[in-house]
Structure 1
Amino acid sequence: MSQPSNPDRDSDLNFSDLTPGELSFGAVYFDGLTSRDRPAQVQVSGQTLLVRSEGLEASYPVGGVSVEPPLARLRRVLKLPGGARLETDDRRAIAALERRLGRNAGLSLVQRLESRWWVALASLLGVLAFTFLFIQDGLPALAGVAAQITPPAVMATLDSQTVQAIDSQYLKPSSVSPARQAQLRQEFAALALERGGPYRFRLLFREGGDLVGANAFALPGGTVFVTDELLTLAKNDREILGVLAHEVGHVQHRHAMRQIYQGLGLTLMFSVVAGDVTSAASVAAAVPAFLLSSGYSRQAETQADNDAGQWLMKRYGTTRPLQDILKRLTLQDGPEVGSRVMDLLASHPGEQARLTHLQAIEAAGGK
């Protein structure tokens, strides 16, 4: 009786000795009723698969035989009608049977590729390259799309939760008088109404302290913080409104939402875009630190500056208010610019590039 082939090599059977259309190979037979295994000889001729073993000779229709896909260097498995099975290390014979039956063509190719070290190395390098490109280009692109389709209600919930976290950890109550706050809120409301959009714009005043300093920043849903220190630094309301117009630009282009998606990952992206308000609330604790410690891209800052410059030209006929306060911020921070959390200049285009851009808007008459 023929024994199963050696698991470390293919069958020594010379296929040219077989009748055309005939296959023969050694295997281990399991009857499906007990755990006993028996060596067997298998012959495939025409549409019949014949199994001969100790005290057994059984035939099965080839069409009723299931060939399990290859898995690494494990034995190939044939499932026979009635629950019996065959296991064999003769990969060449099973490959020939698969070709005849038209089964597992793609998976057999995968198994052959897996057995070659250079293919595995190339695959690893390919995965690493894809991961790098996805992080560099793919994730920002996905974040941009997700930011644009995020429901306003989700952003409003995120704003509400984030304000609570910011007030408890980062900022202090403002010392600006209620009358002054009311005046600036009225001017900001007119600005926001003019700019439009499905956002619940509101202006909050806080003391920045050493951590935040003279600053203003926007949350995704339209909540804009301005610090007492920035109000003190500004020479007039036009400068303050220039900064607020810049922050409104960030909201309208959903820059903060895009930054959150890029920083906090795909899971948040899919859950929030789907309208899962609970997910939005659950990540709110992580959002303040992220928003306050990460600057926008140069493209985002230029876009917000452009919006603010266009608004200033329309309202006052000049971009000087924003230029002036940016210069003053630079002089105040000096070489340490960027050390404060979410500074108006941190991670932004250089001061001169921003001023040149604002001057170009003015030279073009706001067009």
Structure 2
Amino acid sequence: MRVTGAAYPPRLSQRCTADIDISGEQIELYCDNELVSQTSFEQLTLSDSVGNLPVRVSFPDGWVFVPEQNKDIDCLLQKKGRKSLRIRKIESNLWLILVSIIFCVAMLFAGYRYGIPWFSHYAARMLPERVPAFVGEKILEQLDEQFETSHIPAKQQQAIRARVDLLQQQLPPMPFPVKIEFRDSEIANAFALPGGTIVLLDPLVELAESDQQLDGVILHEMGHVYHRHMMTRLVESSLTAVVVASLTGDTSGVVHQMIGAGVFVMNTGLSRDMERQADQFAKQAMLKIYHTSEPMAAMFELLRQQRHIQHMPDWLSSHPNFSERIESMRQP
């Protein structure tokens, strides 16, 4: 079998018209019809064939042969275990490349949108109890750099904690014991940490006009604890970070990823779906304990007024807008 192409002498860029003669296991190279090199098939070296790029056939003495068309040496490629002509055609097919790109993007999107949340939901429930407790403690330590010591009187703090103990007795079993912490800040807010800790900020406690209004907020945060929302989000954020770090080669400890993600989530909030789920948990609890969810609607009214004072638009908030939440609380 004779294949036409071009040849390059050892360590020279000079080009000459050449042929190779393939006879069984023996390969002979002819440059301008003169035999310049020969070798056995085992000693022959072929470059990788990518798309339509020419394959370089290297001889042990340094001669290099480049065929006019890769298909002419397809038999050599197959013997060397390289890509066949059919595979090279697939690699150079623009439509197949485009379809492959779209498929990969779709798989990445599906994994991020559905796969990671699904896995995070179950992984958060499989973690040993000491992991959420440890992560929650570390997140609170970091958040304490932003907060001040609470100014709520100790007697009032004790009364709130005692009331929460009574609430827990009338609710479904919590995955973690609920612990109430008080901190001071400029914002009326409350949030639940992994491990069952709920932090109440002084402006929120002072804003509530009744115990039932404050209990509505606490029950909302207990809904996050019950559904393990915080841990689910942390696993999801950490898993995403670990995947990205693995792809980029910049890896670090998963626990540190969780703590860093926890501080970020506490500052940006949970998803709106999680907030709605916690609202429904609180509403059902209010109806069971107080036979009305109106105190929660009233508390949302007070928080909406605070939000307007702070000039924060709804689209910047991770929570559903207050009109939706108030209407939900007042629906039968």
Fold shared, TM-score > 0.5 on shorter chain: yes
- Equivalent residue number for residue 186 of structure 1: 162
Q: 1:262 to 1:338 in 2, by over 3 A?
A: farther
Matches within 5 A, 1:139-158: 140-141=117-118, 143-158=120-135
CA offset at residue 353 of structure 1? 2.6
Structure 1 distance, partners of 2:293, 2:252, is 39
CA offset at residue 203 of structure 1? 1.0
Structure 1, gaps ≥5 residues long: 1-21
Matches within 5 A, 1:87-98: 87-90=65-68, 91-95=70-74, 97-98=76-77
1:219-278 superposed Cα distances (whole Å, 9 cap, x missing partner)? 12222110122222223323222211111111232322344455566134799xxxx995
1:172-198 superposed Cα distances (whole Å, 9 cap, x missing partner)? 111122232223223324444643344
- Equivalent residue number for residue 352 of structure 1: 323
* Residue 293 of structure 2 corresponds to residue 319 of structure 1: yes
Secondary structure in structure 2 of the residue aligned to 1:235: coil
Asked whether the equivalents of residues 156 and 200 of structure 1 are also in contact (C-alpha less than 8 Å), the reply is no
Structure 2 distance, partners of 1:149, 1:84, is 61
CA offset at residue 155 of structure 1? 2.2
2:19 to 32, 41, 47: 41
- Equivalent residue number for residue 4 of structure 1: none
Structure 1 distance, partners of 2:321, 2:140, is 30
* Counterpart residue identity of residue 89, structure 2: L
Asked whether the equivalents of residues 150 and 202 of structure 2 are also in contact (C-alpha less than 8 Å), the reply is yes
Matches within 5 A, 1:1-367: 22-26=1-5, 28=7, 41-45=19-23, 47-53=24-30, 54=35, 56-60=37-41, 68-71=47-50, 74-78=53-57, 87-90=65-68, 91-95=70-74, 97-98=76-77, 103-105=82-84, 107-113=87-93, 116=94, 140-141=117-118, 143-168=120-145, 170-192=146-168, 194-209=171-186, 212=187, 214-260=188-234, 266-268=240-242, 278-281=253-256, 284-285=259-260, 287-288=262-263, 290-334=264-308, 336=310, 338=312, 346-360=317-331, 363=332
* Counterpart residue identity of residue 294, structure 1: T
Structure 2, gaps ≥5 residues long: 246-250
Asked whether the equivalents of residues 37 and 61 of structure 2 are also in contact (C-alpha less than 8 Å), the reply is no
Q: Scaled by the length of structure 1, what TM-score is found?
A: 0.68
Q: 1:136 to 1:56 in 2, by over 3 A?
A: closer
CA offset at residue 93 of structure 1? 0.8
CA offset at residue 119 of structure 1? 6.1
Asked whether the equivalents of residues 49 and 82 of structure 2 are also in contact (C-alpha less than 8 Å), the reply is no
Q: Scaled by the length of structure 2, what TM-score is found?
A: 0.74
Structure 2 distance, partners of 1:269, 1:310, is 38
Asked whether the equivalents of residues 175 and 225 of structure 2 are also in contact (C-alpha less than 8 Å), the reply is no
CA offset at residue 152 of structure 1? 3.5
Structure 2 distance, partners of 1:246, 1:240, is 10
Structure 2 distance, partners of 1:270, 1:189, is 42
* Counterpart residue identity of residue 152, structure 2: V
Q: 1:267 to 1:44 in 2, by over 3 A?
A: same
Secondary structure in structure 2 of the residue aligned to 1:195: coil
Aligned length: 317
- Equivalent residue number for residue 15 of structure 1: none
* Counterpart residue identity of residue 243, structure 1: V
Q: 1:127 to 1:175 in 2, by over 3 A?
A: same
1:95-115 superposed Cα distances (whole Å, 9 cap, x missing partner)? 3554688852474234423xx
Structure 2 distance, partners of 1:225, 1:328, is 19
